[in-house]
Structure 1
Amino acid sequence: MPKFTEKEKEAIRSALVQSGRELFAQLGLKKTSVGELTASAGIAQGSFYTFFDSKEELYFEILQQEESKIRAQLEASFSESGETFAQFLREALAVVEDNPYIRQVYDDNLLETLFRKLPEEKLQAHFDSDEDFFKPLIEMGQEKGWLVRKKPETIVSVIRAIVLLSFQKTNIGEDRYDETMDLLIELIGQGLSAKEDASHD
């Protein structure tokens, strides 16, 4: 196994991530081989495992990077006082649906593959990060008085449920999917509105 300097390791890891971005987007995780990833990055195939235990781990790293970008974008939207919760949910769905890596996880049923290949603690930490990200934003919305004072953890679960449901277009029916999701988001937005909550006090 070749020895790399820290600078070389950083450059090779970056090259593998870039190769993964291109090949996973084009071919998907299942059809992309380690050999294709290393050839694209310009290293020997055996050297791949110096950096990642599996191609699934590389995919997961890219997925986390993409989710970090999405979260930064959504954080800016969530902080806007003029944006309703329904508008926020619509934007969240739009950016998720446009992301090829996140779409593959659900469209190609890759979750099971990732669960098998990745350490449980890594997956759990990833899921926990959703709550770590959204909880302060929800609490901020509650403090500003435009979001109901329900448990932030429950509201995080509502957001996660909407995102998961968005990948069930075939089961919902493609001809009625858009209207169904739009109505559901509108109803959830109204239900979580502080004004709506106050009217029931």
Structure 2
Amino acid sequence: MALTKKNGDFKDKHPKLRAGGTTRSAPPRRGEHFASTDLPTLCSVNERTIRSYGDNMPPAFSDEERSRITEQLLNAATLLFSTQGLRKTSLEELTAPAGIAKSSLYAFFASKEDLYFEAMLRQSEQVRRRVIDEGLNLGTDTRDALRRFLRATIAELHTNLLYRRLMSHPQEMAAVAAKLTPERMAAAQGGPMADLLTFLDTRVEGDPEVLLGVLRAVLLTPLHADHLGAELYPAVMDRLIDAVTEGITSC
């Protein structure tokens, strides 16, 4: 006898029910409705799903924990990105010093690139103070100001590994920029080079972009100091700085 959900008994169609066993009902076809006996099964599935998502959610952090962990993440990022670069640095390496899971990084930064950018911003503020406030702005005249800027920046390249990395691997900054919004990237527009560009525009004759390029070319030389030799390098840099600053301020 062909029975239906509406007017028949399932026992004639399902041997397990005739034997006192149980079976899981099939999903309803179009036009049918779940019976009330299906609800426990649906609820248990939803509970398992919620628990599964809950297990993977980052834990909540107090303000004190957030401050401590943020600082630890930035310190780890500065060291690792300086020595290994963006691509070779893993999330696990970044989060391990802070004692948090890899997924918890996203409770502090939008991405690995965002963390790199924040570490760069922090370095940029420190670099600006040393090369602009304590360098360029203390010059007795335009030529002396540019000499001070170049010497302070070269010293920074020898001691600040992340700043050196940014100068020697510009493609990493391009990779970071590709993952960030224009609004986020706008935070980097006020760095040391922007201050230098403004100085050149107001104090030196000529296209400020070209002049900036000339000074940046000088700053690439320390990246190849080994090719010049330890004995010659200091004297070479002194003559190069004098020649370039005299040349662009004599026009």
* TM-score (normalizing by structure 2): 0.59
8 Å contact from structure 2 (residues 130, 152) kept in 1: no
Q: C-alpha offsets along residues 128-164 of structure 1, whole Å, 9 cap, x if unaligned?
A: 7455322344456x2xxxxx33343433333323223
Identity %: 29
Shift of 1:117: 4.3
SS of residue matched to 1:36? helix
Aligned pair partner of 1:133 in 185, 191, 195: 195
Find the counterpart in structure 2 of residue 174 from structure 1.
Answer: 228
Shift of 1:179: 4.3
- d(CA) in 2 for partners of 1:112, 1:33: 18
Find the counterpart in structure 2 of residue 116 from structure 1.
Answer: 175
Equivalences for residues 13-92 of structure 1 within 5 A? 13-24=70-81, 29=86, 31-75=88-132, 76-82=134-140, 84=144, 85-92=146-153
Over the aligned positions, Cα root-mean-square deviation in angstroms equals: 3.3
Q: Bigger radius of gyration, 1 or 2? A: 2
Alignment CA distance shift 1:114-1:82 (3 Å): closer
Aligned pair partner of 2:156 in 95, 114, 122: 95
Find the counterpart in structure 2 of residue 156 from structure 1.
Answer: 212
Find the counterpart in structure 2 of residue 145 from structure 1.
Answer: none
8 Å contact from structure 2 (residues 166, 172) kept in 1: no
Q: C-alpha offsets along residues 17-76 of structure 1, whole Å, 9 cap, x if unaligned?
A: 123234445665555421122121121221012223443432332122112211111222
* Bigger relative contact order, structure 1 or 2 (CA pairs below 8 A, ≥6 apart): 1
- Specify every segment of 5 or more residues in structure 1 that has no aligned partner in the other structure, as ranges: 143-147
8 Å contact from structure 1 (residues 56, 114) kept in 2: no
8 Å contact from structure 2 (residues 157, 222) kept in 1: no
**Equivalenced residues, count:** 185
- d(CA) in 1 for partners of 2:214, 2:199: 14
- d(CA) in 1 for partners of 2:78, 2:155: 20
- Specify every segment of 5 or more residues in structure 2 that has no aligned partner in the other structure, as ranges: 1-56
Alignment CA distance shift 1:82-1:14 (3 Å): same
Alignment CA distance shift 1:177-1:123 (3 Å): farther
8 Å contact from structure 1 (residues 96, 102) kept in 2: yes
Find the counterpart in structure 1 of residue 244 from structure 2.
Answer: 188
8 Å contact from structure 1 (residues 77, 88) kept in 2: yes
